[in-house]
Amino acid sequence: MTDHTASLCLPPSVRARGTITLPGSKSISNRALLLAALAEGSTELHGLLDSDDTRVMQAALQALGVSLQAHGPGCVRVTGAARWPVRAARLFLGNAGTAFRPLTAALALMGGDYHLSGVPRMHERPIGDLVDALLGLGCVVDYEGQAGYPPLCIRPGALQLQQPIRVRGSVSSQFLTALLMAAPIAAGRAGRDVVIELDGPLISKPYILITLNLMARFGVQVRRDGWARFVIPAHARYVSPGRYQVEGDASSASYFLGLGAIAGGPIRLEGVGADSIQGDLAFARVVEALGATVRYAADALEVEGVVVAQGARLRAFDEDFNLIPDAAMTAAVLALYADGPCRLRNIASWRVKETDRIAAMHTELARLGAKVESDADSLTVHPLADDQWRAADIRTYDDHRMAMCFSLAAFGRAPVTILDPGCVAKTYPAYFSDFQSLLQS
């Protein structure tokens, strides 16, 4: 069980170097688990992330009658089926959006009775856009609390595929991902194309590309008209690829890319590289723009940067982070070491993540002594001079990314204490041991 009471003090550090093997991608792991559970045949998933979120997904699938067998670290054999055996279940999904949203869509098309709930914060994270789309498809989904939010009760419905399914993508790309992954269930049952149309703009487009890439690996080719229209062909069905290797997590790579940018390096990251299907790899270009050097291999990255503890500075930035909102949190902490104010734009999706990340980042950066400005969809961070750093206890709000990105504040002029460091178990249980292994005395 994760310890949510401890704290971790990080004294001021100077340099870091070494090699890290990244854990498997959370986004890919939970998508691959779901698709393997829906596919004909057995799939061996290798490099699977072992974390709170993936355990939630695996426990839910097993509760629904899907066979999952572990075959060593990071390897699980999943025996799938287009219809899962258990037709009534109560599922607790913690705060795992990558489990809650896709399972909502899949179960709404299964024709059973299901109750889905999570931790209190999950019940504050919106799901109304996905539910509205499912209702338009003929599914029966009821709110058990506040309208637009979990918990949910799902009951059998009658499919209606005469019109395209319309879904908004301006709050979370996970709603479209959920519909795309579940759509072959409807296409197979109805024997006709399923058409999904976007109603308005779509954020975090790279995550949709991950979804489409994985669906293709499991035998379903989606026809796409730009970002407006997606067609899942009639009689589509998932078929196991036999074996699938999960690549390292590009969002987690952002912390080590940032570390190399401010602590000299070189730091080599193994498990993700130029061949990655993850959009968060674009953060490597961000740290290059800040002044670091990044070298790319097919499945590895190496970063070298300046040494801020010896007076060097990163270049200031003003960037749109709509495509990589998770990795953008790392940039907000790197801004403390810049040569001028830094602005992060188009990050409204931070408001509906594990915590309100705009508010949380504003508060905790200010706790370190920084001047910070924020509004509905942006954050501006003013760098700290050597005499402005304050020792601080950083609250993490039960948000794994808050804990990980603020580890980079350890290169200022005062100690930083991370409260509840165990919250990183959501996606990267070994993060702090890996981080500290790179620090040079």
The domain of 186 spans: 26-232
Is 241 a member of any domain? no
Last residue of a domain, one of 232, 260, 287: 232
- Per-residue pLDDT of 20-52, as tens digits, reads 999 999 999 999 999 999 999 999 999 999 999
In a shared domain, residues 278 and 211: no
Last residue of a domain, one of 201, 232, 263: 232
Catalytic residue among 52, 129, 132, 326: 326
pTM of the shown model: 0.94
What mean pLDDT is predicted for residues 339-365? 97
What mean pLDDT is predicted for residues 418-441? 96
In a shared domain, residues 194 and 89: yes
Token digits for 347? 């990050």
Confidence bin at 1 (pLDDT 50/70/90):
very low
In a shared domain, residues 158 and 289: no
Instruction: Quote the pLDDT of residue 5.
Output: 59
Confidence bin at 4 (pLDDT 50/70/90):
low
Return mean pLDDT, the chain. 96
Is 243 a member of any domain? no
In a shared domain, residues 118 and 54: yes
Is 260 a member of any domain? yes
In a shared domain, residues 267 and 191: no
How many domains does the chain divide into?
Answer: 2
Residue 420 designated active-site: no
- Per-residue pLDDT of 216-257, as tens digits, reads 999 999 999 999 999 999 999 999 999 999 999 999 999 999
What mean pLDDT is predicted for residues 300-306? 98
